[in-house]
Amino acid sequence: MATSDSGAPAALAVPEHDSPAATVPPVTGPNQLAAAFGKTLSLASRSVHADDYINNHQAVAPPLHVSTTFRYSRNPDDLKQWDNHNPAAPYDSHMYSRDSAPNTTRLEAILTSVLGGPALTYASGLAAFHAMMVFLNPKRIAIGGGYHGCHGVIKVLHKLNGLEQLEIEDDADLARLQKGDIIHVETPLNPTGEARDLAYYRRKADELGCYLTVDATFAPPPLQNPFEFGVDVVMHSGTKYFGGHSDMLSGVLAVRPDRAGGWMQGLREERLVIGGVMGSLEGWLGVRSLRTLELRVTRQSESAQRLVDWLSSEVNGGKGLVSETVLKLQHASLQPEAADETSWLRKQMPNGFGPVFSIWMKSEELAKRLPSKLHLFQHATSLGGVESLIEWRAMTDKSVDRKLLRVSIGVEGWEDLRDDLLQGFQALKDELA
């Protein structure tokens, strides 16, 4: 059975006919929506319908399949190694869930559509990062701050094969990179929500013969499309915005379409033996969540922007509850390039600057105490869910300044979140007084 680069069966080609009266069979498979409409549908529509071609049941909501193994054909003549094609479900044929399963196949179909490149899912964001590193197998990687877990994976690989870690913002370190090495950019950056210039690092990667990989977790569609800037592999912790409800772990790798031919097959074969696959429940939850991806992320980003603007004006005003305790804020919208319509930042993030930002309090004690004074914000790690979270980031990341609070905005009314922060600042003031 022919397959697409995403591992799903390829769409049937429409044959050419000399006679206009000839009957042309309808396009099926991943391309059937574009064929039916003569265009690529919107992100919102694809999030809901990109997996329709897999349907083989009358249920509108996809069922949850928990089986790990799938029956072979009863016809001995149909038996082929690692090919369990079912004519009754040509786009939903499986053998063993460590390779593929119904719910994760659907999730990958939608992710392939919304990310703009063939996608594979993994058990977590770090499982995806590890799989990417194993597949590309560089001798050196240039990486900045960002998520400490990725640094942990690099540390493990250094123990195994001597992988060398370099600083991405050090020109001398970048100059040490060689062909086949990796420049890994996290943008927006964890925990500050600040952005990095992908076009700049694409040029650097081309000069040095390196691969450019990006962790785009903090700016999922519709906020950012790294493939527009020539990125080779886009990584997401799907636990965050793709999951969106703080109830599932997942990781995602999407490959630049012109590299997908050999890369996707290699990644899938290695995933089979590394074993970092998603569970079926998580695949089902991911499909449920992606249906509302654009609605959630757009609202979260807009609310975050309103709160950042308000907090910044309070800090810069120099009077009131906020300025008494807050030292500064960090967010992509506060970078100088955000005010320039022609800047790389406005081109890279045309639809908003993301739902995560950082608040720097004037002391560690203030940073530790503020979260417990809030009612709508939950004091917890992670981000991207429908509920707003605030974290004294030192709880989980020993590398950050102990005055830093990471804020992830949910889908609550932004005015309510503002009022919750105000009463929290007041309660903090009263307590310390």
Domains with residue ranges and CATH for the chain: 95-290 (3.40.640.10), 293-432 (3.90.1150.10)
- CA distances 105 to 93, 100, 111, 415, Å, are 10, 6, 10, 39
pLDDT digits (tens, 9 = 90+) for 348-405: 999 999 999 999 999 999 999 999 999 999 999 999 999 999 999 999 999 999 999 9
Q: Are 57 and 82 in contact (CB under 8 A)?
A: no
pLDDT digits (tens, 9 = 90+) for 52-104: 999 988 999 999 999 999 999 999 999 999 999 999 999 999 999 999 999 99
pLDDT band for position 7 (50/70/90)?
very low
Query: Which structure tokens are listed for 346?
Result: 């406005």
pLDDT band for position 277 (50/70/90)?
very high
Q: What is the mean pLDDT of residues 131-150?
A: 96
Q: What is the pLDDT of residue 27?
A: 77
Q: Sign of dihedral through CA atoms 313, 315, 320, 325?
A: positive
Whether pLDDT at 112 is above 90: yes
Q: What is the mean pLDDT of residues 274-288?
A: 97
Q: What is the mean pLDDT of residues 38-45?
A: 96
Other Cβ atoms less than 10 A from the Cβ of 324: the count is 16
- Can you tell me which residue has the tokens 């329709």? 52
Q: What is the mean pLDDT of residues 228-257?
A: 98
Q: What is the pLDDT of residue 12?
A: 32
Q: What is the pLDDT of residue 318?
A: 84
Whether pLDDT at 3 is above 70: no
pLDDT digits (tens, 9 = 90+) for 182-206: 999 999 999 999 999 999 999 999 9
Q: Are 30 and 8 in contact (CB under 8 A)?
A: yes
Task: Tell me if residue 86 falls in helix, strand or coil.
Answer: coil
Whether pLDDT at 15 is above 50: no
d(CA 88, CA 136): 37
Looking at residue 149, its amino acid is G
- Residues β-bridged to residue 122: 251
d(CA 326, CA 424): 12
d(CA 327, CA 362): 5
Q: What is the mean pLDDT of residues 157-168?
A: 98
Q: Are 407 and 357 in contact (CB under 8 A)?
A: yes
d(CA 432, CA 12): 69
**Average predicted confidence (pLDDT) for the chain:** 93
Q: Are 151 and 158 in contact (CB under 8 A)?
A: no
Query: Which structure tokens are listed for 5?
Result: 């680069």
Whether pLDDT at 13 is above 80: no
Q: What is the pLDDT of residue 2?
A: 40
Q: What is the pLDDT of residue 25?
A: 62
Q: What is the pLDDT of residue 82?
A: 92
Q: What is the pLDDT of residue 10?
A: 39
pLDDT band for position 24 (50/70/90)?
low
